[in-house]
Amino acid sequence: MKKMTFEKAYRELQDILAKLQDEAVSIDDLGDKTKRAGELIEYCRKILRNTEEELGEVLGTEGDK
């Protein structure tokens, strides 16, 4: 994901979820939306893991998980 921020990815994920909850996604698009949501979730998890590791290094709590 080029130049994607956590906030942008999270907003897009929320948008996909809202459309799924409102049943505003056609069966034809469901697979694509599900795949995109998976990619966004993995991207957000990666950002959160990296941030957690960086904070652990700064705070000296890396091994306290």
Confidence of residue 65 (pLDDT cuts 50, 70, 90): low
**pLDDT tens figures, 6-61:** 999 999 999 999 999 999 889 999 999 999 999 999 999 999 999 999 999 999 87
What is the number of domains present in the chain?
1
Instruction: Assess if residue 43 is contained within a domain.
Output: yes
Cβ neighbours for 12, distance < 8 A, ≥ 6 positions apart: 36, 40
Instruction: Assess if residue 62 is contained within a domain.
Output: no
Task: Look up the domain containing 34 and give its range.
Answer: 6-57
Q: How much is the pLDDT for 46?
A: 96
Two tokens, residue 25 = 């996604």
